Amino acid sequence: MDSNSLAMPISDPNAWATAMNNLGMSPMSMTGQPIMSDFDPSLGMMTGIAPMNPMMPGLGIVPPPVSQDMPIVKEIIHCKSCTLFPPNPNLPPPATRERPPGCKTVFVGGLPENATEQLIVEVFEQCGSIIAIRKSKKNFCHIRFAEEHTVDKALFLSGYRIRLGSSTDKKDTGRLHVDFAQARDDLYEWECRQRMLAREERHRRRIEEDRLRPPSPPPIVHFSEHECSQLGEKLKDDSKFAEAVRVLLTWVERGEVNRRNANNIYSMIQSSNSHIRRLMNEKAAHEKEMEEAKEKFKNALAGILVQFEQIVSVFHAASKQKAWDHFSKAQRKNLDMWRKQAEEIRNIHNEELMGIRREEEMEMSDDDMEDQTERPLAQVEALKEENDSLRCQLDAYRNEVELLKQEQGKAQPQRSEEDATRQQQLSFLQQALQGMQKVRTHSQHGIQHKITFLGSEAAAAVVSCSQEKESLPEKGPPSPVKSEREALLVGIISTFLHVHPFGASIEYICSYLQRLDTKISTTEVETLLGRLPCTFKQELTGVGASLEKRWKFCGFEGIKMA
């Protein structure tokens, strides 16, 4: 048969294309030619044609996501027993109440009077699995679904006009109104689910807290002969001593000590006391390691300072005119900057080294002061005891004098010899009383003098120096320091050179002094240093072009020769 005889007239090709598009097929004519050239097989739809029916069996009723600016286009839904016609798209969307928590039940109103439960199942079963339907004698019902998300699909049917079959009778038609319904079963299931989630959250939080909680100490066992013997062995082991001492302390605090186990407890306490010797040995070993580390650090720092001095000497040699004139301007700038940086770093390390030495000297001086203060304190205690004994004797003599006076006043006049004897005794006692008062006053002055001596050794040193000056003859050798200004300069220069153990040039010293007084000249400073050979000495350092004269402070050695 000829293929042309199968051709059928198509009055509306767009309707034919829409029907084929709803079936998911490429729109073709009866002759096999494509009707629309803009069909997109990847999307399964054509441009300009409404999407396929969302209520077709086997397809989801939720329409595909579209732009918010474009209104959702609802289409006619055909069922076996009825037909659903979409609402006017220009009308506003139907109003809905607030969604209850865990809502699975919907209210469906506007049903036809002749609608049956089978018809309701046929229409709404396409949204999802239905658990129960409660139909009223009126034109509404409540439908409970198995899942919460199926409620949104049921709300999509709100506004549709339903017609049973092809009848146009009023009892066979109605406008559906679908809304959220508040059901006790839904609320109960939602609350149960929330409580379960809360329990799971608390369980997870408790597990996390238990994981982060520090471990609790193990319980302390009660006293027994077996535990006591084991604890005695643990006390002798350095690795288990801390745990064993804690157990021993708990036993003593609990009141586990009695007459039967007192000897065992005493032996364990004695073992704890013997551990002190081990701890002291360990401390001494650590102190030795610390001293060795300090000494090593000090020696390394001194070596670094020597290298810094050599580097600074290189820069000073390069800054002299013999070599300085051959460098370019940029090179001179870099050399000057490098020299300043090297000097700053050298001074910082030098101050650090001197700080370490000062700390060592202060520690040694503190030890000496402790030894010196212990001896005078013992002398002060002895003088206090002597003063107390003298006071007691003085009171006894006073009482005896008072008694003699009373007896002399009450007694009748006796012989002249007895009177003379008593007069001699009275005068003797008065002389002894005056002597005791003088001794007591002298002892009190001695105690005050000792206490004052302990409080200020500097004052005693000044007094001794003044006594030495008085004992010296008036005429002595001329002093190299001629004025108070020169004495101040000597003190400042000594302090400056004391923190520069490797010495400093006269220019460096004068640059420091000229910050204090701009009138100080290099000649004046050099002359003053030359007049004090026991305090300052000049040395030559370097070789060749780097030869430099440096002044050093030698007062600690010069005091032995002076």
- Does position 267 have pLDDT exceeding 70, yes or no? yes
| pLDDT for the residue numbered 48 | 44
Sheet (strand 161-164) strand order: 77-78, 82-85, 161-164, 173-175
pLDDT-derived band at 62 (thresholds 50, 70, 90) equals very low
- Rounded Cα gap, residues 391 and 381, in angstroms: 16
∠220-225-228 over CA atoms, to 5°?
50
The domain made up of 484-560 is a member of CATH 3.30.1330.10: no
514: pLDDT strictly greater than 60? yes
Distance CA 276, CA 282 (A): 10
Q: In this predicted structure, which of 232-246, 436-450, 534-548 has the lowest mean pLDDT?
A: 436-450
Which of 251, 241, 247 minimizes the C-alpha distance to 271? Answer: 241
**Contact present, 342 and 393 (Cβ < 8 Å):** no
Rounded to 5°, the CA angle 322-346-549 comes to 45
CATH-assigned architecture of domain 77-192: 2-Layer Sandwich (3.30)
Report the distance separating Cα 157 and Cα 39, nearest Å.
Answer: 29
pTM: 0.32
Q: Could you tell me how far CA 284 lies from the centroid of its own chain? A: 32
- The band of 103, judged by pLDDT with boundaries at 50, 70 and 90, is very high
State the pLDDT confidence band at 2, using cuts at 50, 70 and 90: very low
| Lowest mean pLDDT segment, chosen from 27-41, 366-380, 496-510, 526-540 | 27-41
The DSSP output letter for 158 is T
- Ranges 126-130, 196-200, 263-267, 548-552: which has the least confidence: 548-552
What proportion of the chain, given as a percentage, has pLDDT over 70?
A: 70
What mean pLDDT is predicted for residues 259-283? 88
Contact criterion met (CB below 8 Å) for 353 and 305: yes
Of 3-17, 153-167, 223-237, 530-544, which range is least confident? 3-17
Closest CA to 384 of 435, 446, 457: 446
Q: Is residue 241 predicted with pLDDT exceeding 80?
A: yes
What whole-number distance in Å separates Cα of residue 25 and Cα of residue 31?
A: 15
What DSSP string describes 345-356?
A: HHHHHHHHHHHH
Query: pLDDT band at residue 465, thresholds of 50, 70 and 90?
Result: very low
Q: What pLDDT is recorded for position 196?
A: 95
Q: Which residues pair with 135 in a beta bridge?
A: 141
pLDDT confidence of 543, banded at 50, 70, 90? low
Length of the chain: 562
* Among 11-20, 175-184, 337-346, 525-534, the least confident range: 11-20
| Pair type for strands 140-145 and 536-541 | unpaired
Pairwise pLDDT comparison (203 vs 63), residue with the higher score: 203
Q: Please answer whether residues 173 and 112 qualify as being in contact, where contact means their C-beta atoms are separated by less than 8 angstroms.
A: yes
Distance CA 118, CA 141 (A): 13
Q: Do residues 39 and 131 lie in contact, with contact meaning Cβ atoms separated by under 8 Å?
A: no
Whether 472 has a pLDDT exceeding 70, the answer reads no
List, for residues 288-299, the tens digit of each pLDDT value.
999 899 888 888
Enumerate the domain spans of the chain.
77-192, 225-293, 374-455, 484-560
Q: Which of 100, 175, 174, 111 is nearest to 144 (CA)?
A: 100
> Tell me, what amino acid is at 86?
P
- CA-to-CA distance for 87 and 111, rounded, in angstroms? 15
Nearest-angstrom CA–CA distance, 330 and 404: 108
Provide, rounded to the nearest whole percent, the portion of the chain with pLDDT above 90: 13
Torsion on CA atoms 10, 12, 15, 17, rounded to nearest 10: 60
